[in-house]
């Protein structure tokens, strides 16, 4: 494995911070909050917490190959079923595992280190938003997540290319913009959540391009 460069080191730091932030939030939830539907279709807050726990040993080639073979190369099914299985653990165990594995340096093929870090940003808010909790990664983490969400690796199954076409996205809490066309404006968090298909974030956005983006997400 090649040594991590300065950018990867920064990405790993943000991923660790996000997992610890999520663990602290989950540790203070009651039973009803754990059962609350998240922004991930079909998942409660419990499944999101389970999904955020890094696999023991990380995403090794052997782990990925054996997992994909088990689920007949269906990545979506693998992610869903492994999260549901892990969610059967006691809440205290999920929180402890998330904390103890927070520093895992995940760098899977194709999406690299930015993929899992972006995952920690999005899924933290998938749980926090429905609970009405203001637990949020820092802007610098969102900036990297936004860079990833508009990149070619993210368009390989994560963010459909036609979701971004003809639109210009601008953040209102830091200097970041992408694309050309009708504008969509909002916080880094709201734009990232919308780019990843979370319709709940649309109410936090403005701009002439918002109806187009809304139609693409709902469609």
| Per-position b or e across 117-130, b if 16+ CB within 10 A of its CB | bbbbbbbbbbbbbb
According to the model, what pLDDT value does residue 2 have? 44
What's the token pair of residue 130?
Answer: 């429905």
Alpha helix positions (H), the chain: 6-27, 31-34, 45-52, 61-70, 75-86, 91-100, 114-131, 139-149, 161-164, 188-195, 210-218
CA distance 201 to 207: 14
Mean pLDDT per 10-residue section of the chain, whose length is 219 residues:
69 98 98 98 97 78 61 71 94 98 91 95 98 97 97 87 95 97 98 97 98 94
- Provide the 3-class DSSP secondary structure of residue 167: strand
Residue 59 Cα distances to 53, 74, 108, 207, angstroms: 12, 16, 6, 39
According to the model, what pLDDT value does residue 78 have? 79
According to the model, what pLDDT value does residue 72 have? 61
According to the model, what pLDDT value does residue 1 have? 40
Specify the residue for token string 């754990």. Answer: 34
What's the token pair of residue 216?
Answer: 């693409």
According to the model, what pLDDT value does residue 74 have? 64
């Amino acid at each position: 494995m090649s040594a991590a460069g300065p950018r990867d080191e920064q990405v790993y730091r943000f991923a660790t911070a996000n997992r610890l932030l999520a663990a602290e939030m989950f540790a203070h939830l009651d039973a009803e909050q754990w059962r609350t539907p998240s922004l991930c279709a079909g998942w409660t807050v419990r499944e999101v917490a389970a999904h955020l726990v890094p696999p023991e040993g990380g995403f090794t080639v052997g782990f990925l190959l054996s997992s994909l073979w088990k689920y007949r190369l269906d990545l979506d099914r693998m992610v869903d079923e492994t999260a549901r299985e892990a969610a059967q653990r006691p809440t205290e165990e999920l929180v402890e595992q998330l904390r103890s594995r927070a520093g895992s340096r995940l760098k899977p093929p194709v999406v690299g280190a930015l993929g899992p870090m972006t995952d920690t940003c999005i899924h933290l808010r998938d749980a926090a938003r429905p609970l009405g909790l203001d637990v949020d990664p820092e802007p610098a983490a969102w900036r990297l997540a936004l860079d990833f969400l508009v990149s070619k690796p993210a368009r390989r199954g994560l963010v459909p290319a036609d979701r971004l076409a003809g639109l210009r996205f601008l953040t209102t809490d830091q200097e970041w913009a992408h694309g050309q066309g009708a504008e969509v404006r909002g916080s880094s968090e709201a734009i990232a959540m919308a780019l990843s298909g979370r319709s709940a974030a649309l109410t936090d956005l403005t701009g002439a391009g918002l109806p187009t983006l809304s139609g693409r997400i709902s469609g």
